[in-house]
């Protein structure tokens, strides 16, 4: 991922230096476990721990000759520890180190993403509670439907991202798997107890069964989960972009002091941050496809997945980290315009309450068809000719035969749409 979209902490997590250090941690834990089993002298383990250090430039230099990253890594360690180097990597295959280290890195990345999700949920909860009763028009098909509140709109997003917390935790658990089982997973040259001890020390679960690699269905599920979370971020960003349109102007993403919206038009305040989040979500969907294609490997293993994972796993976690942090700042700094919401709510002359009138007529004994035809005729007249829906209702003999003026006014009272707001908020965990 390019630096522009790489948060510092997540970028460091996926740096070559941290990756190699994690691989070293795995190698040292293997040595320690083998020492406990009497396979390696404790003095050798102590000497190796004391002497070995990662020199990234040296590893990269050796890899130009070996054309094999793990061999370059092991040779770099061997040249530091002298005769004790014969104890390194005994009975292992490259994927024992790579897959186990990858599980550690993904677990660390997942922990950061879970923190990000928590912060976004906190921001959504605060804004939802603040605007729990801020009336606005709800839209279906992009057309005015019935009143809702801005708080309810955000509460829907809050509930969605709560579900993502569970999904991410489950996906993270699936990839929290290490393996130290040898060339094709048979433990022919390494004691299974080594795997158990190493994984326990790293906070991983040993793979119940593996080939030369941990199977890639878990990694595919993980990438798919990140893509689904990205889809919800895109949904939230798209909603804000629509609300920021000039014709709507009900909410706007933050616009900082000194920020410029256009090189040609000084008046512009564009939803560029939300558009950026929308665009980056497309990357996550692409990474998910790559993860699915990595599941099918030849026999006990090939490396067609390797080159893909070196890109998509770091990039997917980095870009989602960036998207979550970015959208959290958008929600925290969101400019909300209740007066504009009220103006839009009233802009269609009251026809958005037609459903309430329909129900009131049906309670008075009219059939749905008869009531619908009666209300629709007046509603369309009000909308098309920009006339007051209430005045048309009160002046229509067909309506007045069944509803009093007070009943008509009650149908057009927006407060009727607020009566269950508190209950809904409690149901999604936003109650006081």
Residues 6+ positions from 411 with CB-CB distance below 8 Å: 353, 356, 357, 360, 403
Residue 256 binned pLDDT confidence (cut-offs 50, 70, 90): confident
Express as a percent the part of the chain with pLDDT over 90.
Answer: 94
pLDDT at 312: 97
**260 part of a folded domain:** no
**418 part of a folded domain:** no
**245 part of a folded domain:** yes
pLDDT at 431: 86
**258 part of a folded domain:** no
**432 part of a folded domain:** no
Q: Output the domain CATH number for residue 148.
A: 1.20.200.10
Residues 6+ positions from 382 with CB-CB distance below 8 Å: 348, 349, 350, 351, 388, 389, 392
In degrees, to the nearest 5, what angle opens at C-alpha 415 toward C-alphas 409 and 421?
150
Q: pLDDT of 6-53, one tens digit each? A: 999 999 999 999 999 999 999 999 999 999 999 999 999 999 999 999
Pull the structure tokens for residue 102. Answer: 């990858």
Is 263 exposed, middle or buried (CB count within 10 Å of its CB: 0-12, 13-18, 19+)? exposed
Q: Which domain holds residue 407?
A: 351-411
Domain match, 9 and 36 both? yes
pLDDT surpassing 70 at residue 262: no
Domain match, 295 and 358 both? no
Concerning whether 262 is annotated as a catalytic residue, the answer is yes
Of 287, 318, 341, the residue at which a domain comes to its end is 341
**211 part of a folded domain:** yes
With beta carbons less than 8 A apart as the criterion, state whether 383 and 350 touch: no
Of 322, 341, 360, the residue at which a domain comes to its end is 341
pLDDT at 267: 77
Q: pLDDT of 285-333, one tens digit each? A: 999 999 999 999 999 999 999 999 999 999 999 999 999 999 999 999 9
Q: Output the domain CATH number for residue 377.
A: 1.10.40.30
- The pTM (predicted TM-score) of the whole model is 0.94
One of 15, 43, 262, 347 is an active-site residue; which one? 262
pLDDT surpassing 70 at residue 85: yes
Domain match, 128 and 243 both? yes
Domain match, 279 and 368 both? no
Domain match, 337 and 374 both? no
- List, in sequence order, the alpha helices (H) in 82-135: 94-130
pLDDT surpassing 80 at residue 335: yes
Domain match, 235 and 362 both? no
Residue 258 binned pLDDT confidence (cut-offs 50, 70, 90): confident
How many domains does the structure of the chain reveal?
2
Domain match, 227 and 367 both? no
Domain match, 298 and 389 both? no
**262 part of a folded domain:** no
DSSP state of 353: G
> Is pLDDT larger for residue 264 or for residue 413?
413
Concerning whether 305 is annotated as a catalytic residue, the answer is no
**What's the chain's average pLDDT?**
95
Domain match, 404 and 307 both? no
Domain match, 93 and 172 both? yes
pLDDT surpassing 90 at residue 269: no
> For the residues 159-188, what does the mean pLDDT come to?
97
**24 part of a folded domain:** yes
pLDDT at 432: 65
Q: pLDDT of 341-393, one tens digit each? A: 999 999 999 999 999 999 999 999 999 999 999 999 999 999 899 999 999 99
Domain match, 235 and 97 both? yes
Q: Measuring CA to CA, which residue among 242, 245, 241, 236 is closest to residue 281?
A: 236
Domain match, 274 and 400 both? no
Express as a percent the part of the chain with pLDDT over 70.
Answer: 99
């Amino acid at each position: 991922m390019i630096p522009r979209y790489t948060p510092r902490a997540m970028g460091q997590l996926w740096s070559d230096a941290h990756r190699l250090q994690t691989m070293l941690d795995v190698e040292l834990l293997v040595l320690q476990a083998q020492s406990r089993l009497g396979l390696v002298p404790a003095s050798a383990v102590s000497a190796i721990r004391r002497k070995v250090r990662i020199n990234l430039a040296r590893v990269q230099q050796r890899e130009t000759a070996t054309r094999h990253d793990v061999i370059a890594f092991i040779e770099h360690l061997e040249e530091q520890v002298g005769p004790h180097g014969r104890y390194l990597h005994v009975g292992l295959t490259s994927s024992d180190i790579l897959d186990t280290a990858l599980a550690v890195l993904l677990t660390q990345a997942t922990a950061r993403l879970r923190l990000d999700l928590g912060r976004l949920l906190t921001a959504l909860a605060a804004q939802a509670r603040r605007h729990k009763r801020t009336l606005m028009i709800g839209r279906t098909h992009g057309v005015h439907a019935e009143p809702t509140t801005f708080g309810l709109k955000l509460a829907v997003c809050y509930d969605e991202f709560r579900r993502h917390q569970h999904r991410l935790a489950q996906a993270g658990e699936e990839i929290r798997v290490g393996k130290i089982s040898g060339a094709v997973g048979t433990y022919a040259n390494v004691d299974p107890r080594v795997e158990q001890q190493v994984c326990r020390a790293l906070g991983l679960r040993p793979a119940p069964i593996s080939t030369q690699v941990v199977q890639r269905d878990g990694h595919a599920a993980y990438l798919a989960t990140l893509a689904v979370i990205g889809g919800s971020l895109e949904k939230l960003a798209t909603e804000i972009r629509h609300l920021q349109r000039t014709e709507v102007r009900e909410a706007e993403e933050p616009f900082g002091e000194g920020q410029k919206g256009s090189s040609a038009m000084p008046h512009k305040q564009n939803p560029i941050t939300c558009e950026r989040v929308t665009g980056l979500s497309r990357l996550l969907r692409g990474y998910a496809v790559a993860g699915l294609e990595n599941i099918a490997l030849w026999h006990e293993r090939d490396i067609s997945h390797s080159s893909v994972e070196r890109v998509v796993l770091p990039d997917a976690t980095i870009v989602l980290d960036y998207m979550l942090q970015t959208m959290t700042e958008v929600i925290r700094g969101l400019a909300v315009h209740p007066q504009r919401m009220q103006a839009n709510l009233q802009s269609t002359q009251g026809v958005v309450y037609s459903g309430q009138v329909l129900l009131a007529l049906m309670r008075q004994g009219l059939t749905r068809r008869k009531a619908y035809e009666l209300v629709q005729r007046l509603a369309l007249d009000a909308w098309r000719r920009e006339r007051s829906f209430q005045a048309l209702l009160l002046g229509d003999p067909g309506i007045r035969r069944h509803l009093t003026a007070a009943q008509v006014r009650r149908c057009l009272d927006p407060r009727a749409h607020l009566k269950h707001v508190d209950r809904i908020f409690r149901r999604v965990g936003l109650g006081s």
